[in-house]
Amino acid sequence: MHIIGTAGHVDHGKSSLVISLTGHDPDRLQEERRRGMTLDLGFAPLRFPDGIEAGIIDVPGHEKFLHNMLAGAAGMELLLLVVSAVEGPMPQTSEHLQILNFLNVKSAIIVLTHCDLVAEEEQQIAATLVLDACRGTVAEGAPIVSVSNATGAGIERLRTAIHQALAVLPPRDAQAPAYLPIDRVFTLRGHGTVVTGTLMQGTIRAGERMLLAPAQSPARVRALQVFGDKSDSVSAGSRVAVNLSGLEATAVTRGDVLTAQDAFEPSNELHVRFTPLAQTRAKLRRRTPVRAHIGAAEVLGRLVLSQPPAHTDASLGAVLHLARPSTVYPGSRLVLRGITPKVLLGGAVVCGPADVLPIGVRSREKAGDEPDDDPCLTNVAAIVAAGALAPLSAAKIAASANVRLESAEHALQALIGSKRIVALAKPPQYISRAVFEDALQRVRTALQDNHSRFPWRAGMQSKHIAAVLCVEETFASRLLTVWEKEGSAAQPAGYWHLPGDDPVLDPAQRHFFGSVFSADSQTALLPASYAAIVAKAKALGVAAATEALDGSIAVGKLVRIGDDVYRTEQIDKARREIETVTARSGSATMSQLRDAFGTSRKYALPLLEYFDGIGLTVRDGDQRRLRKP
């Protein structure tokens, strides 16, 4: 089902047109019928033989009932712009057009009424005037159909035009969490509370448990009707009446929203992209009191712009502070009017709750950051940023953004591609690039300071970096892994340092280690003892010798095997001996290799186990051979 809406000036024949099209009188109030004027929203079904169905919302045309018109306009997909051929476009014609433009109505048909009262030439004049009035709006270039509600002339042509327009409208998202703005509430004897509205997205099923937002009151769906026909379920785009149990009618007001459970969070602050109306732009300030029309609700608030509106019709980033919580989803459209006078100020697209943004509009003003054209992207980016150094999974992000998992994953990939977020592996989680870079800068500063103060150290262990960031060591390790892949950090043997910051010994340390390790590459493969080195350095008063020793081992200048410490030249010599001996017969015993090393079994066995461990050799019984590539 799709939703059609009428719009236009008072007395231009909107309600009569609905009767002509459907046979149903949308004026349900006695006063409306007595005065011949629509005061509130009216509804009627429109069905076609091929199964295409639509609901028509008839809105009041009088300026004093504009708030009622706005309550019904939010769900419209096809506009019937009704203009009298007698009067032509009038003030409410233009205002309704501007409102529906801000609400992003998808399609329009211009209906010229009262054509039985004027000559053909006057009809042409009226048509020309209305086309001029429609420039720059959803109705620009729309087909014009001339009708007479009194004689029925043109009604079938209009039905055909409506059918053609409905056939190409895109379907609404029936898989998203259910969201039903309530425009009517009443009590039905024997049944209890009934609410009605246009189901903007999702599906509602009989027996389902839902929430009344923003109070978040639980309720159960007792029964469903679509224009008087009972149904077990209704999908997005339907005009639906929902019989609820667990809620008194007095607890529900127009503007409340019936939602799926655990899908939406009410918020007093909304991050929006605001488009000002050119005619009233001069009335805007950086902080402007407004009436926000959100779905069927009218909420007082204050619009805080990210920058002055200047002389442009371009959209601006803004935060809408509301007097009471509102429940919306990314991409929701809303209309803003002034407090006094109640002039139209502009329209806005909801990007998400402002309280999920870590920096708020004040920092956005400094950064000049603007929301994306795609509200889902903006909301996902904000939610990831709000997580700071607590990474979020795609499922968690989707739930927070009130979008399907596939939509969240698509947005995440786009944000990764634009380098606005960073993906962490095992498990897949996400943090914002800004948070990531800030953390990297803090770690970079810590590593620079560590190397400056202790140049002989190999670097910092991940547990110490975790302390710098005030995070768990496992998370710090995941960040460090990404930094290493990007070339921002290096990790020799579990010690992290900036690229190029290898350990540097001071003169005393260099002299000491020179005396401990002979530089003669022909020396037999006899190691030094780690414990003995530490003890000797302590006895000689060599500062930080243990740290310097560990640093040299970490970066591969020395190799520690158990308590034995070798120079890398000695390890390279042992490698060459293994390759030479095993080349003769394909393998060698431990005693053969011991003799080639020129050392004892005490040192040869740990050496051979070291080469087994690094994958150079493979032990097969009492033989060792080179591991095949």
What would the pLDDT profile of 130-166 be if each residue is shown by its tens digit? 999 898 888 998 999 999 989 999 999 999 999 999 9
> Does the CA dihedral 232-216-356-75 come out positive or negative?
positive
Considering 198-207, 323-332, 365-374, 522-531, the range whose residues carry the highest mean pLDDT is 198-207
Average pLDDT over residues 172-181: 88
pLDDT digit string, tens, across residues 108-132 = 999 999 999 989 888 899 899 999 9
Return all residues near 559 (Cβ < 8 A) that are at least 6 apart. Answer: 553, 565, 566, 567, 568, 570, 571, 610
pLDDT of residue 7: 86
**74 in any annotated domain:** yes
- Statement to judge: residues 200 and 228 lie in one domain: yes
Compute φ and ψ for 354, nearest 5 degrees: -70, -20
**310 in any annotated domain:** yes
Of 34-38, 140-144, 442-446, the range with the lowest mean pLDDT is: 34-38
More confident residue, 253 or 557: 253
pLDDT of residue 457: 75
Structural tokens at position 177: 């969490």
Q: Is the peptide bond before 330 cis (omega within 30 degrees of 0)?
A: no
Rounded distance between C-alpha atoms, residue 276 and residue 35, angstroms: 36
* Residue that terminates a domain, selected from 138, 167, 196: 167
Smallest Cα–Cα separation from 624: which of 590, 584, 577?
A: 590
Secondary structure letter of residue 30 according to DSSP: H
DSSP string, 292-334: EEETTEEEEEEEEESS--TT----EEEEEEEEEEE---TT-EE
Going from the C-alpha of 510 to that of each of 279, 507, 516, 520, the distances in angstroms are 79, 5, 10, 16
Average pLDDT over residues 199-211: 93
**491 in any annotated domain:** no
pLDDT digit string, tens, across residues 260-280 = 987 888 889 888 888 888 887
Of 55-64, 316-325, 418-427, 548-557, the range with the lowest mean pLDDT is: 55-64
Note the Cα 387 to chain centre separation in Å.
Answer: 12
| pLDDT cut 70: percent of the chain above it | 89
* Residue that terminates a domain, selected from 408, 427, 446: 427
- Statement to judge: residues 153 and 37 lie in one domain: yes
- Statement to judge: residues 419 and 385 lie in one domain: yes
**447 in any annotated domain:** no
**457 in any annotated domain:** no
423: left (phi over 0), alpha (psi -120 to 50) or beta: beta
What residues form DSSP beta bridges with 270?
320, 353
Q: How high is the mean pLDDT of the chain?
A: 83
pLDDT of residue 173: 84
- Statement to judge: residues 354 and 237 lie in one domain: no
Considering 59-73, 216-230, 459-473, the range whose residues carry the highest mean pLDDT is 216-230
- Statement to judge: residues 307 and 197 lie in one domain: no
**123 in any annotated domain:** yes
Average pLDDT over residues 11-15: 81
- Statement to judge: residues 577 and 530 lie in one domain: yes
- Statement to judge: residues 520 and 629 lie in one domain: yes
pLDDT of residue 522: 47
Average pLDDT over residues 507-533: 72
Strand order in the sheet with 588-589: 588-589, 623-626, 617-620
Average pLDDT over residues 450-479: 82
* Residue that terminates a domain, selected from 229, 260, 291: 260
- Statement to judge: residues 82 and 162 lie in one domain: yes
Return all residues near 334 (Cβ < 8 A) that are at least 6 apart. Answer: 272, 292, 293, 294, 295, 328, 347, 348, 350
pLDDT of residue 40: 45
In 123-255, beta strands by DSSP E = 144-146, 179-188, 192-198, 203-205, 209-213, 217-226, 229-231, 233-235, 239-245
Let me know if 146 is exposed, middle or buried by CB neighbors in 10 A (0-12, 13-18, 19+): buried
**483 in any annotated domain:** no
- Statement to judge: residues 133 and 198 lie in one domain: no
Domain count, the chain: 4
Average pLDDT over residues 387-405: 79
Considering 41-50, 59-68, 246-255, 341-350, the range whose residues carry the highest mean pLDDT is 246-255
Q: Which residue has the tokens 């994953």?
A: 409
Structural tokens at position 62: 């009088």
CATH number for 293: 2.40.30.10
DSSP string, 190-202: TTEEEEEEE--BS
Rounded distance between C-alpha atoms, residue 594 and residue 370, angstroms: 71
pLDDT digit string, tens, across residues 76-106 = 899 999 999 988 888 878 888 888 888 888 8
**What is the amino acid identity at position 374?**
D
Q: Which residue has the tokens 């809620």?
A: 247
pLDDT of residue 474: 85
Q: Which residue has the tokens 């009151």?
A: 217
- Statement to judge: residues 96 and 115 lie in one domain: yes
Compute φ and ψ for 224, nearest 5 degrees: -130, 145
pLDDT of residue 365: 34
pLDDT of residue 205: 95
Of 316-325, 373-382, 429-438, 523-532, the range with the lowest mean pLDDT is: 373-382
- Statement to judge: residues 201 and 142 lie in one domain: no
Structural domain harbouring 587:
513-629
What is the greatest pairwise CA distance in the chain?
A: 119
Structural tokens at position 29: 């109030």
Between helix 433-453 and helix 473-485 the angle, nearest 10°, is 90
Strand, helix or coil at 184?
Answer: strand
Rounded distance between C-alpha atoms, residue 549 and residue 503, angstroms: 10
- Statement to judge: residues 187 and 237 lie in one domain: yes
More confident residue, 281 or 179: 179
Q: How many CB atoms sit inside 10 A of residue 576's CB? A: 11
Going from the C-alpha of 180 to that of each of 185, 200, 297, 384, the distances in angstroms are 13, 6, 12, 27
**507 in any annotated domain:** no
CATH number for 29: 3.40.50.300
CATH number for 594: 1.10.10.10
pLDDT band at 501 (very low <50, low <70, confident <90, very high): confident
